[in-house]
A and B are shown apart, each in its own frame.
Chain A
Amino acid sequence: MAELRYVRALNQALSDAMAADPSVVVFGEDIAAAGGPFGVTRGLLEAYGADRVRDTPISEATIVGAAVGAAMTGLKPVVEIMFMDFVAIAMDAIVNQAAKARFMFGGQGSVPMVVRLPHGGGVSAGPQHSQCLEAWFAHIPGLKVVCPASVADAYGLMRAAIDDPDPVILVENKALYARKEDVPDDLPAVEIGKARIARPGRDATIVTYGAALYTALEAADTLAGEGVEVEVIDLRSLQPWDEAAVLESLSRTHRLVVAHEAVEAFGVGAEIAARMADIGFDELDGPIVRVGAPFMPVPFAKTLEQGYLPDAGRIADAVRKTLA
């Protein structure tokens, strides 16, 4: 066991993948010489050389488009878009090229690439540097979307994403980079599409992912004080998501809350709620309640952002509502 930060776990996973497979290359803005705006790629240039670790100009559409062409020609690129918000500029390469290639070309080959997208608020970064846009990608057939919350998963999902033959969107929450956890020395890869029970409970299920996991666990602590034992499920993968694990938990607790930092309307939670209302209808003893950000841009001022971000109080209220 050793203490490891989330950012170091991502870094270690990149490094281990590059050591294991010479076709893994990493490129993006300021990721090589400077080690990345958040330090995720620190040391890779020195360890693996300028051929495989490259700083790019500020050309998001071409960074991701080039990843597609590189993946079609025998490399496994891992590219970074500095803030998830900037991916709007690179959507063609992700949505029309990477996601479609395997299917559209009759399964001739796959496009093994990873696009790393730091998301999330809480750091007063304002409307264009804070968004959680993962639902955009989960909506696109052909893409996989993962969002590690724990340090172990930061490592394990990065390894799995790089090993995956299909394009994977790896969403990292900026607020988690500094998070520390004790983890085993030999971290395993984590299977994409498998959720994890972060806290067992019998009275209600909260399904969540990313930094909202810790808000949900806080809510669960509060509720435990009221005699309510909440099960918290960390989805880890959003596309594909672990429908079976959620249904299994619901069939024990009979109450469901879905919580995330992203805007509530048309979000990941909407899909989970709709699906469980369908296949889990007989298990439900209360309404499925969603908790997400309100329908507005992420605001800048501290007081405004505090009002914006879903907090433990709102998640606990949602649980009380479904139990009422």
Chain B
Amino acid sequence: MPSNNATSRSRAAKGSNKPEALLALYRQMLLIRRTEERLSQLFADGEVPGFIHLSIGQEAIATGLGAVLERRDTIASTHRGHGHALAKGVELNSFFQEVMGRETGVCKGRGGSMHVADMSAGMLGANGIVGAGMPIAVGSALAHQVRKTGGVAVVFFGDGALAEGVLHESLNLSALWELPALFVCENNGWSEFSPTSKQFVAPLAKLADAFGIPAETIDGNDVEIIADTAGRLISEIRKGGGPRVLECITQRVRGHYEGDAQKYRDPAELKDRDKIDPLPRAASRLSVLGVSDALLAALETEVMAEIDAATEAARAAPLPGFAAAQADVYTPAGA
């Protein structure tokens, strides 16, 4: 079993004559990127209500994980969860319809961007409460263990959530019970308007080590490394190895939420963005593997067509009715 990035690299390199796997990853990242760019525009135009947190620049993490998870696996996500939802298999049309507050949205327009969930896809919900996904994933992992589903529960969380007490409780409990759980930290260096360095003193890997949980810290903008590492960790977990921690170092390209003027942030932080951005990185690797620019352009057209169609379908979709929503606080009798 490969245990470091060099081996992961060589495995990816083995695919040199077969770029299909990376192409699929690239396409998924592209779909998330273009979806969020569209949402940014729709938000600016007043077509997306509330507030939205974009994961632009961080798509490789959701994509790499999504590629190695199975339908039976479950994920708990965060306020910045669009990518997680799409990569876990939430359907694009019902996703757009949810974020745009439509009756036909995956959650009937009741939750919006911060609460996208799809139980049939094992997506247990984005979450408006920082850190709340961790115990939910622990419980989901418990269910996988007790019910012997063979599934794994994954929780995505930001570096800001390191300071929440439930992280420590959840690491402890999952180690204690040897649960099939993967903790994925998307460390983008920012917790809302504050740098992580002013929020938390302990490196996550050391923290995990204290609980006896194997942890790895990797480049969170290299989708191949992420998919390889995640694939290996998930298979260790699935075999009964207990929990794992995966920290992905990445960058938040946009503000904390759309409309954030980011006065607190030095723009120089993003000056090397093109070298870091997971999409151009994957694209240049694809050309090394012999994928033509024309093929990438065709992918772009295809993805944009899907997003255009999803946008139009959402615009045309009905708005939710109040009475039906109010009647759905509890499970109807006999259901």
List residues of A whose CB falls within 8 A of some B CB: 23, 25, 51-52, 54, 56-57, 59, 61-75, 77, 92-93, 96-97, 101-110, 141-142, 144, 165-166
Q: Assess the A105–B135 pair: CB atoms within 8 A.
A: no
Segment touching A, from B16-24, B46-54, B138-146, B252-260: B138-146
B264 at the interface (CB under 8 A from A): no
Segment touching A, from B58-66, B292-300, B327-335: B327-335
Partner of B107 from A52, A62, A106, A110 at Cβ < 8 Å: A106
**With A67-B139, A73-B140, A74-B143 as contacts: A61 and B166 at CB distance below 8 Å:** yes
Q: Assess the A73–B115 pair: CB atoms within 8 A.
A: no
Q: Assess the A62–B170 pair: CB atoms within 8 A.
A: yes
The 4 A-B residue pairs whose C-beta atoms are closest, nearest first, are A65-B135, A69-B139, A66-B139, A106-B108
**With A75-B142, A92-B132, A96-B128 as contacts: A103 and B153 at CB distance below 8 Å:** no
Q: Assess the B142–A57 pair: CB atoms within 8 A.
A: no
Segment touching A, from B26-34, B118-126, B191-199, B241-249: B118-126
Q: Assess the A68–B110 pair: CB atoms within 8 A.
A: no
**Interchain nearest-CB distance for B207 vs A (Å):** 16
Q: Assess the B74–A73 pair: CB atoms within 8 A.
A: yes
> Chain B 250-281 against A: per-residue CB contact (8 Å), 1 yes, 0 no?
00000000000000000000000000000000
Q: Assess the A106–B134 pair: CB atoms within 8 A.
A: no
Segment touching A, from B4-12, B171-179, B213-221: B171-179
Partner of A69 from B76, B109, B115 at Cβ < 8 Å: B76
**With A97-B132, A110-B331, A166-B330 as contacts: A62 and B169 at CB distance below 8 Å:** yes
Give the CA-CA distance A77 to B145 in the complex, in Å.
14
**Interchain nearest-CB distance for B119 vs A (Å):** 5
List residues of B whose CB falls within 8 A of some A CB: 74, 76, 105-111, 115, 117-120, 124-125, 127-129, 132, 134-147, 149, 151, 153, 165-166, 169-170, 172-173, 176-177, 325, 328-331, 335
For B146, list chain A residues within 8 Å (CB): 25, 51-52, 70, 75
Q: Give the residue name and chain of the B residue nearest to A90 (CB).
A: B135
**Interchain nearest-CB distance for A81 vs B (Å):** 14
Instruction: Identify the interface centre among A61, A69, A97, A142: most chain B CB within 10 Å of its CB.
Output: A69
Partner of A56 from B151, B173, B335 at Cβ < 8 Å: B173
Partner of B153 from A73, A109, A142, A144 at Cβ < 8 Å: A73
**Interchain nearest-CB distance for A244 vs B (Å):** 16
- A–B Cβ pairs within 8 angstroms, 21 of them: A23-B147, A51-B145, A56-B173, A65-B135, A65-B136, A65-B139, A69-B124, A69-B142, A70-B146, A72-B74, A73-B143, A73-B149, A75-B143, A77-B139, A92-B129, A103-B329, A104-B117, A104-B125, A106-B108, A106-B111, A141-B329
Give the CA-CA distance A65 to B137 in the complex, in Å.
9
**With A75-B143, A105-B107, A106-B106 as contacts: A68 and B136 at CB distance below 8 Å:** yes
Q: Assess the A106–B169 pair: CB atoms within 8 A.
A: no
**With A25-B146, A54-B177, A61-B166 as contacts: A107 and B108 at CB distance below 8 Å:** yes
Q: Assess the B329–A62 pair: CB atoms within 8 A.
A: no
**Interchain nearest-CB distance for B308 vs A (Å):** 25
**Interchain nearest-CB distance for B188 vs A (Å):** 23
**Interchain nearest-CB distance for A33 vs B (Å):** 14
For A61, list chain B residues within 8 Å (CB): 135, 165-166, 169
For A103, list chain B residues within 8 Å (CB): 110, 325, 328-329
**With A61-B135, A68-B136 as contacts: A105 and B173 at CB distance below 8 Å:** no
Q: Give the residue name and chain of the A residue nearest to B335 (CB).
A: A165
Give the CA-CA distance A149 to B134 in the complex, in Å.
36
For A96, list chain B residues within 8 Å (CB): 128-129, 132
**Interchain nearest-CB distance for B90 vs A (Å):** 11
